[in-house]
Structure 1
Amino acid sequence: MRVDSHQHFWQPARGDYGWMPKDDPVLSRPYFPADLAPFLKQAGVGRTVLVQAAPTVEETEYMLGIADATPAVAAVVGWIDFEDGSHIRHLERLKKHPKFAGVRPMIQDIPDVDWMLRPDVQWAYEALLDLDLTFDALGFSRHLANFLAVFKRYPKLRVVVDHCMKPQIRDHGTAREELASWSEGMRRIAGETGAFCKLSGIVTEANPGWTVDDLRPYAEVVLDAFGPERVMWGSDWPVSRLRGEYGDWHVAAETLCAGLSPADRTAIFGGTAARFYRLEG
């Protein structure tokens, strides 16, 4: 069965999506399972991983409620406050839910690039290790060196890099330099740690009117460095709607992976995510 390793549902009226533009015609509207269901059916996707979009425990509980009522949602990646050690109680409590997989701090939105290295947040990585939960790494190319340091510090942490670490594909003026530095950082993470990577989110880092060839150099680095056994496809829907519909990115990803063996494509479009997130069935 195909797995979408990264999608979102949200209700802006909840009031905790601080990053969301107030009047964006694509983003600032509710998205529920019924909105996604036709696209999953069209793409042959049977299970998804629902990922946090607000920095609150309350949103995590909201998502788990959706997961309880939605068979297609196989796992939930939530959020806890890494700066508050008392939040270990939330991890311990949420761990008991059969669909709770792990957490994702919204590091891309934190001004301090060294935040993840601060002594006061290290308890959270240790707790994820102790509880055998996952860590979704969300950031940009500028975070690659620090993520490498964290992953090497906690080599048994179950880590997946979100959205290929968001290379800035749209910046044609610096694209060559960006590709080189991003590629080096990603290859080091792949070669020196056991981290996985989501083939997701790159269309929103490209220009409007992107083509598969715009994405290809970045996808090739990820596939070559991590290998299909550590790469999982994700839609990043509905954020991906900023650059196209669900099927547009799904078809593009299939095209990018067309030269791989059937077994490798099966891994990327389902098997790797099922193994990493320990999806049942």
Structure 2
Amino acid sequence: MIRIDAHQHYWALARKDYGWLGPHRPVINRDFLPHDLEPEMRAAGVVQSIVVQSTPTLAETEFLLFLAETTPSILGVVGWVDLEAQHALEDLRRLSENPLFLGVRAMAQPNPDANWLAQIAHSPALSFMAARGLSLDALVQPHHLPALDTLCRANPELTVVINHAAKPEIGVRPMDEWQCRIARLATLPNVSCKLSGLTVFSDRIDALQPYVDVLVSQFGPSRLIWGSDWPVLKESADYGAWVSLCDRVLRGLDNRDVAQIFGDSAQQIYGTEVRLAA
């Protein structure tokens, strides 16, 4: 089984565009670069990773692409582009010339307008992305899912990947509304979902299992993608523990389905291929 971490981050604080970091998050308020993660990946049997943007600047995307070009453990980059800007198409065209650029993440979570994704549903940038085979990662919470549904239905050729299972508030709110909205999105063949970022809510199997069961039943292994959300993960769990926890919550699946979630889905959905060392 080839394991790919399809959602992790790198940052260098000296770049000074990580406004969401600071002393209030002491565990992750330092540089995190490939030499920090690679030993943990090797110990967990993870061969490559997809790096995802963590701040809304083109400069960070270019920094991540530089890392990808010089770091064999990086499979590709999901970056950021201002999808509403007049120069969005120019930015996408330039970035997409790099084969390591896999897509764009839309950051709905920090946007005060819960309907923002619906408002950009007919953006020419999304049509361009679909035509180029670029994905749209969606950083969303449950209340953003109706707007995301509108966007996905307006762009049936665009590959959309829900990040962190839309951050269900496990143990805080009933799962019914989240489950209903996830199920509606899962009926769309262009929508996939990441199994990532859940230990921020709970690291107990009995708490996570019902949510993972919903994801597996709704998306199936071919549209469910495993990721770590490292180093944000470090605030609630360590890397090996998250891998082990996912092994346990997926234990009811056969080996082929587990392999699909842990690596094959990422390659198929992002349109890339693991490069193994000779």
TM-score, scaled to structure 1: 0.94
Q: Which residue of 1 aligns with 2:83?
A: 82
Match of 2:258 in 1: 265
Task: Give the Cα–Cα distance (whole angstroms) in 2 for the partners of residues 117 and 159 of structure 1.
Answer: 14
List aligned pairs for 1:44-123, cutoff 5 A.
44-118=45-119, 122-123=123-124
CA distance in 2: counterparts of 1:240 and 1:58, whole angstroms: 24
Residue in structure 1 matching 2:204, options 204, 211, 232: 211
Could you tell me whether the CA contact under 8 Å between 1:83 and 1:121 is conserved in 2?
no
Unpaired segments of 5 or more residues in structure 2? none
For 1:60 and 1:7, the matched residues in 2 are separated by: 14
The whole-number CA distance in structure 2 between the counterparts of 1:108 and 1:193 is 23
C-alpha displacement of 1:119: 5.2
Q: Please report how far the alpha carbon of residue 204 of structure 1 lies from its aligned counterpart in structure 2 after TM superposition.
A: 1.4
Given the superposition, is the C-alpha separation of residues 151 and 121 from structure 1 closer, same or farther in structure 2, using an over 3 Å criterion? closer
Number of the residue aligned with 1:144: 145
Does 1:26 find its partner at 2:27? yes
Alpha-carbon separation, structure 1, partners of 2:45 and 2:5: 10
Q: 1:159: which partner in 2?
A: 160
Going from structure 1 to structure 2, the CA distance change for 1:119 and 1:8 (only over 3 Å counts) comes to closer
Task: Give the equivalent residue in structure 2 for 1:202.
Answer: 198
Amino acid at match of 1:95: S
What secondary structure does 2:123 align onto?
helix
Query: How far, CA to CA, are the matches of 1:43 and 1:157 in structure 2?
Result: 32
Deviates more, 1:262-271 or 1:184-193: 184-193
Instruction: Note the C-alpha offset of 1:193.
Output: 4.1
TM-aligned CA distance change 1:121 to 1:24, over 3 Å? farther
8 Å contact 1:204–1:243 — kept in the other structure? yes
The reply to whether residue 245 of structure 1 matches residue 238 of structure 2 is yes
* C-alpha contact (below 8 Å) 2:84/2:123 kept by paired residues: no
Partners of 1:134 and 1:157 within 8 A in 2: yes
Deviation sequence 1:155-210 (CA, Å, 0-9, x none): 11011111000001142xxx22xx0000000011001343111100111133xxx3
Segments of 4+ in structure 1 off by > 3 A? Answer: none
Query: Is the 1:76–1:101 contact (alpha carbons within 8 Å) kept by the matching residues of 2?
Result: yes
CA deviation map 1:71-123 (0-9, x unaligned): 01001000001220212111101111121101002110100111112259722
Q: 2:180 aligns with which of 170, 184, 196?
A: 184
1:256 aligns with 2:262: no
Q: Which structure has greater helix proportion?
A: 1
The AA in structure 2 aligned to 1:194 is: N
Structure 1 residues without counterparts, runs of 5 or longer: none
Q: Would the aligned equivalents of 2:78 and 2:105 in 1 still touch at CA under 8 Å? A: yes
Distance across 1 between alignment mates of 2:224 and 2:204? 21
C-alpha distance in structure 1 between counterparts of 2:66 and 2:270, whole Å: 19
| Coordinate RMSD, CA, aligned | 1.4
Aligned length: 273
